Amino acid sequence: MSKLTIRDIAKMAGVSTTAVSFVLNNKSGVSDATREKVQKIIESTGFTPNVHTRRLNLGKSYTIHVVLRQYSNSLFNQFALETLSGIFTESKFLGYSIVFTFVDDHMDCHQILDSVRGKDCDGIILNQIADPTLLSILQQEEIPFVCVDAHIPKDGSLPLVEVDYYDAAYQATRHLYDCGHRQIGFIGPQTPAEYYMSTFNGYTAALKDMELVCNPNWLAEVPFADADNPTSLEPLFSKPQLPTAFVCAGDIFAISAVRCAKAKGICIPEDISIMSLDDLLVSQYMDPSLSTMTFPKELLGKKAMQLLYKIIMEEPYTPVNLIKTTPILRESVKSI
């Protein structure tokens, strides 16, 4: 891109390369007159120092490697771009570039490692990736990394940024209660276990606080793979006695639930209310639009980058970072 080198600039200004270097890096050691002279030439020529040299000298790449998971079902990718955008904004602010890798469902962790090693980055952000082998290797090799939205245990052993799904499920259940519902079911995934536990525990904790019983007939566990397959909820919606509302552990389940209910002639929200978590982009365009727990998607990325930066800089950091959700009320919940 730029053919000019620091030597050219030095020659043009009649100074040494050292002087130019100092000016470029805003360091002291040059007179104001020299600085100004050099500054002018840099501006007029549009000179930009070669980044590779800089990185070579400093032994730092000023680059973060983001590993993105690519699901076969693109609904799961819904906020990856927003997370990425959050990472980008913060990384720019902190002076880092971003390179990335996409990996699919069945990736080999060595793929990532090679990719990461080859690119020589200062740190890694793993988005929705929880491969234990990979994580332990990263820890062993003391490579700075952060997990985002990975649904791994929040025990503090790994630096992570997660949505507070326990609280989200709790609030969702609570909201239904506040709308007058007393018979509240739960539709959620089986795996990952951490995700299931968070949401289910949030739901049951809320029931308990409101002195409601948890009716096992109103519980449905749908494999993630079937999340957007309405027939997976057939058995649930065929039951003779249904609750007046369901909490869904994710908009994907809510989408299925709405479809399945429709197919069985059950009206949402007239017959049954549905409150879910996530606030996917689709959720506001559905009919009925989904009442759900929303959160700032970009914040996930921003927090992750901030956390990674601290780790890289060897500053103290809080390993577990939870993003709070807030209810967004649309059409799928009716007060009774």
* Residue 124 CB burial class (10 angstroms; 0-12, 13-18, ≥19): buried
Residue 16 CB, nearest distance to DNA (Å)?
3
Residue 53 CB, nearest distance to a second copy (Å)?
6
Which listed range, 24-32, 62-70, 126-134, 273-281, lies at the site for DNA (CB under 7 A)?
A: 24-32
Residue 39 CB, nearest distance to DNA (Å)?
12
The entry of DNA, a second copy, none near residue 22 (CB within 5 to 8 angstroms by kind) is: DNA
Beta strand 97-104 pairing with 291-294: unpaired
The contacts found for 239-243 with CB under 8 angstroms, 24 or more apart, are 241/217, 242/185, 242/218, 242/266, 242/271, 242/272, 243/181, 243/183, 243/184, 243/185, 243/215, 243/218, 243/272
**Both tokens of residue 183?**
């018979």
Binding site for a second copy (CB under 8 A): 1-2, 48, 50-53, 55-56, 61, 63, 70, 74-75, 77-78, 80-82, 84-85, 88-89, 92, 97-102, 117-121, 141, 143, 255, 262, 281-282, 285-287
Residue 2 CB, nearest distance to DNA (Å)?
7
The entry of DNA, a second copy, none near residue 118 (CB within 5 to 8 angstroms by kind) is: a second copy
Residue 50 CB, nearest distance to DNA (Å)?
4
The entry of DNA, a second copy, none near residue 98 (CB within 5 to 8 angstroms by kind) is: a second copy
238 is a contact residue toward DNA (CB under 7 A): no
The entry of a second copy, DNA, none near residue 285 (CB within 5 to 8 angstroms by kind) is: a second copy
Residue 21: which of 9, 33, 31 has the closest Cα? Answer: 9
Q: How far apart are CA 21 and CA 296, in angstroms?
A: 41
Beta strand 160-163 pairing with 320-323: parallel
Which listed range, 16-24, 76-84, 105-113, 275-283, lies at the site for DNA (CB under 7 A)?
A: 16-24
50 is a contact residue toward DNA (CB under 7 A): yes
Q: How far apart are CA 201 and CA 199, in angstroms?
A: 5
Which listed range, 7-15, 68-76, 148-156, 222-230, lies at the site for DNA (CB under 7 A)?
A: 7-15
241 is a contact residue toward DNA (CB under 7 A): no
The contacts found for 50-58 with CB under 8 angstroms, 24 or more apart, are 50/2, 50/5
Alpha helices in the chain (DSSP H): 6-13, 17-24, 32-45, 51-58, 80-94, 109-119, 132-140, 165-178, 193-209, 234-237, 251-263, 297-312
Residue 114: how many other CB atoms lie within 10 Å: 12
Residue number, 5 or 204, with CB nearest to DNA:
5
Residue number, 123 or 202, with CB nearest to a second copy:
123
Applying CB under 7 A, which of residues 26, 33, 216, 241 lies at the interface with DNA? Answer: 33
Distance of CA 38 to the CA centre of its chain: 44
The entry of DNA, a second copy, none near residue 78 (CB within 5 to 8 angstroms by kind) is: a second copy
Whether a cis peptide bond, with omega within 30° of 0, leads into 269 is yes
Beta strand 123-127 pairing with 320-323: unpaired
* Residue 240 CB burial class (10 angstroms; 0-12, 13-18, ≥19): exposed
5 is a contact residue toward DNA (CB under 7 A): yes
Residue 5 CB, nearest distance to DNA (Å)?
3
Applying CB under 7 A, which of residues 1, 26, 31, 265 lies at the interface with DNA? Answer: 31
What residue ranges bind DNA (CB under 7 A)?
5-7, 14-22, 24-25, 27-31, 33-34, 49-50, 53-54, 56-59
